[in-house]
């Protein structure tokens, strides 16, 4: 009796709850399926889907990376340049009677240049690395657009340095960085240099950080000028005032040439790779997939369950090998005829496809799959879901430009690792009534 009650109770309850206890009956069993779908992988070689490859550099400026680079080798010479704002005109200090007062007559007697470095990524490992501080004397320069050759490089105004590489510059001080002692190197500046930098009417004022050690390379995270000031209300004491730079950038040479047989993404200024994509409308004989499919078979957007652009990483030039994990973004090119100036569509990946630094150094040849499923579906459909003309070209680029000084190269057409378009397709005869 108890079993009967337990069995009947749910059905009675279902009536009382009137629809709150719905569950669809689920049957098992392979043989009962009224459809027999087939999933296959369709791999298109580069020549079968891509054309009009363009690798274009110059997007963004080095100053937008937000860090400095110091390097010296046979393949690269990189220097960090920076400028500090005008010095503070007053400071709150304690006078000889112990009263805190605002002193507007400060005398700057010296300063420390505090340079914070990336202590994880530098060469030679273990150091020491000597850093030189030089005062720029090449005339007016622009903290945003300055490059190795040009002090100013803006629209309608391009002026070269007197000497390429942010020169000339006057040596002021040098200090070795010993990484085992910390991530900071402090360079003591004399009062004359400090006094010279206080002239804000001098648009050429600035500082260059470089190294004299062949094979050295380091990234400058931040630079702070720690001023020593003598207040007039208490001349027996010194107060310290810290200033951050108003401009922090780097210049380098040589700029890598546009590549052949290579796709390139990133760097500062950044590289982009553009190419058109075409997906064949059907799979036809001869094709190995026809052993599983009834060829010819039309490719439909619904059949595309996944699509990726498979790239093969290659070794980057030593000076430009990534030091950190970077990211490769892919976006549709909305007007391919205007490449590289075409506007781009939204990203397919919120943060791009992450790539490890060693894939472009010690472990080249790694496959990087960039998902492009919705893009390929639109191409196959001949229109977007909104009914608009689909984009027919892609751009590979950094999610943020520029993201880093280093760039990520991939094997290009004509190489063994040329890009492939990998599409997973599921085919079925259609859903029918019994």
Partner 1 sequence: MTLRILGPVALMATLLPGALAAQSLFSWGGLGTPVEAMDARARGLGSAGVGLFGSAVSFRDPASAMGLLLPTVTATMQGSRTRGDEALGGGEANGTRFPHIGLAYPLGERLVALVEYGGYLDQRWTLERELVVPVGGVNVDVVDAFESEGGVSSLVAGAAYSVTNWFSLGATAGIHTGSFRRTFIREFDRTQVDVNPYVATASWTTTAPTVVVSARVDPLPLVRLAGSVTWSGDLEADPEEGEEAEARRFPLPLEFRGGASLTLTPVLSATVGASWADWTSTGDMLNEGSGVSALSLGGGLEWTSGSLFGRRAPLRLGYRRADLPFRVEGEKALESGYSLGGGLLLSELEGIPLAAMDISVERGERTAGSLAETFWRTTVTLRVSGR
List of residues contacting partner 1 (CB under 8 A): 4, 7-8, 10-30, 32-35, 37, 39-41, 43, 302-303, 305-306, 371, 373, 422, 424, 426, 428, 430-434
Q: Sign (positive/negative) of CA torsion 413, 415, 421, 426?
A: positive
Least separation in angstroms between CB 49 and partner 1? 17
| Apex 234 CA angle, 230 and 238, nearest 5 | 35
How far apart CA 292 and CA 427 sit, in angstroms, is 10
| DSSP letter assigned to residue 253 | E
Beta partners for residue 422, in sequence order:
43, 308
Question: Do the beta carbons of residue 128 and residue 176 sit within 8 Å?
Answer: yes
Element of type H or E holding 8:
helix 2-17
Phi, psi of 331 (to 5 degrees): -135, 150
Structure tokens at 143: 């903290």
Residue 366: CB minimum distance to partner 1, A: 17
Distance in Å, CB of 431 to partner 1, minimum? 4
User: Closest approach of Cβ 388 to partner 1, in Å?
Assistant: 19
Least distance CB 18 / partner 1 (angstroms)? 6
Listed in sequence order, the residues at least 6 apart from 29 whose beta carbon sits closer than 8 Å to its beta carbon are none
| Cα 394 to Cα 124: distance, rounded to the nearest angstrom | 39
23 or 125: CB nearest partner 1: 23
Q: What is the DSSP letter of 96?
A: T
In the complex, minimum distance from the CB of residue 10 to partner 1, in angstroms, rounded to a whole number: 4
Cβ at position 298, least distance to partner 1 in Å: 13
Q: Give the separation between CA 12 and CA 21, rounded to whole angstroms.
A: 11
Nearer to partner 1 by Cβ, of 89 and 432: the residue is 432
Query: Would you say 142 or 378 has its CB closer to partner 1?
Result: 378
Before 286, cis peptide (omega within 30)?
yes
């Amino acid at each position: 009796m108890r079993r009967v009650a337990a069995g009947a109770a749910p059905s009675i309850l279902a009536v009382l709850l009137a629809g709150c206890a719905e569950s669809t009956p689920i049957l098992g069993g392979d043989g009962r399926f009224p459809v027999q779908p087939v999933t296959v992988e369709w791999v298109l070689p580069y020549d079968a889907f891509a054309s009009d490859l363009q690798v274009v550099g110059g997007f963004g400026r080095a100053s937008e990376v937000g860090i400095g680079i110091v390097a010296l080798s046979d393949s690269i010479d990189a220097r960090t340049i920076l400028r500090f704002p005008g010095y503070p005109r007053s400071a709150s200090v304690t006078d000889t009677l112990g009263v805190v007062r605002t002193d507007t007559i400060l005398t700057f007697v010296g300063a420390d240049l505090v340079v914070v470095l990336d202590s994880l990524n530098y060469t030679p490992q273990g150091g020491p690395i000597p850093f030189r501080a030089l005062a720029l004397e090449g005339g007016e320069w622009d903290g945003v657009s300055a490059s190795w050759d040009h002090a100013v490089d803006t629209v309608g105004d391009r002026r070269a340095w007197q000497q390429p590489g942010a020169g000339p510059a006057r040596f002021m001080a040098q200090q070795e960085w010993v990484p085992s002692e910390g991530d900071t190197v402090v360079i003591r500046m004399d009062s004359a240099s400090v006094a010279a930098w206080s002239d804000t009417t001098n648009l050429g004022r600035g500082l260059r950080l470089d190294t004299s050690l062949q094979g050295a390379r380091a990234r400058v995270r931040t630079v702070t000028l720690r001023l020593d000031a003598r207040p007039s209300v208490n001349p027996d004491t010194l107060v310290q005032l810290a200033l951050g730079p108003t401009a922090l950038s780097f210049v380098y040479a040589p700029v890598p040439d546009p590549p052949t047989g290579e796709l390139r993404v990133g760097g500062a200024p950044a590289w982009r790779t553009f190419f058109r994509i075409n997906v064949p409308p059907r799979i036809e004989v001869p094709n190995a997939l026809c052993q599983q499919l009834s060829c010819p078979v039309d490719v439909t957007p619904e059949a595309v369950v996944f699509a990726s652009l498979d790239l093969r990483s290659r070794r980057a030039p030593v000076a430009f090998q990534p030091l950190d994990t970077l990211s490769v973004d892919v976006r549709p090119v909305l007007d391919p005829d205007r490449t590289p100036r075409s506007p781009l569509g939204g990203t397919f990946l919120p943060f791009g496809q992450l790539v490890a630094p060693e894939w472009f150094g010690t472990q080249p040849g790694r496959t990087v799959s960039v998902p492009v499923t919705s893009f390929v579906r639109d191409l196959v459909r001949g229109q977007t879901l909104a009914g608009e003309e689909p984009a027919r070209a892609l751009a590979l680029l950094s999610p943020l430009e520029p993201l880093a000084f280093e760039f990520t190269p991939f094997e290009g057409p004509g190489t063994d690792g040329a890009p492939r378009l990998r599409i997973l397709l599921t085919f079925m005869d259609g859903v029918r009534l019994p």
